[in-house]
Amino acid sequence: MKKNKRIVVFASGSGTNFINIYNNVRNGKVILLISNNPDSGAVTYAIKHNIDYKIINNFRYPVKKNRYSEYEIILNDYKPDLILLAGFMKKIPTSVIQLYTNKIMNIHPSLLPKYGGRGYYGIKVHEAVMKSGDKLTGVTVHFINDEYDRGPIIKQEQVIVKNNDNPLTLSKRVLKKEYSLYLKVVDLFCKDKIEIKGTRVVINE
């Protein structure tokens, strides 16, 4: 029998994607939360449910070199098979990306490459979609690389923009899609059904 994959989640905010993954992941187990925000909903949930967590931020590690080294030290201790970014508001160090190539996923609330990159996060993405007049938006799960939201796309799902939508109503529907799609992709990874061929992702469903 295959062992469950070991999963580390990075989150900065309310932690709803982290909570959804923790409670619903199959063939994997969340073993650690890493956050830059000790007051976040994600950390509150981790404390309440006895989930290991670590805080890495500029206050605790003001020297960048030490801060980046701490990521590597902690991850080496926990030895994850998969790292999930779930609303993490800091850029992952290049050294960590290289150590865990094609093992770090992110979820983004648009159909990348549209509305991706620096400055496009959270409600700002939905505001941009509404302003553009697009009739379709969606969710993208991708592996990360050194460029914001430019790593190989694993899976996308569409969300229709309704005539009476505003950024908030749209964000709520997109978030529901995030929950289901992230779990779907994580499950595929945990069952070893995702391959990387060059820069292309192949899913063997």
Q: Is 142 a catalytic residue?
A: no
Which entry of 49, 108, 126, 142 is annotated as an active-site residue? 108
The span from the CA of 28 to the CA of 166, in Å, is 36
- DSSP notation for the chain: -PPPEEEEEE--SS-HHHHHHHHH-SSEEEEEEEES-TTSHHHHHHHHTT--EEE--TTT--SHHHHHHHHHHHHHHH--SEEEESS--SPPPHHHHHHTTT-EEEEESSSTTTT-STT--THHHHHHHHHHT-SEEEEEEEE--SSTT-SPEEEEEEEEPPTT--HHHHHHHHHHHHHHHHHHHHHHHHTT-EEEETTEEEE--
Q: Could you give the residue numbers annotated as active site?
A: 108
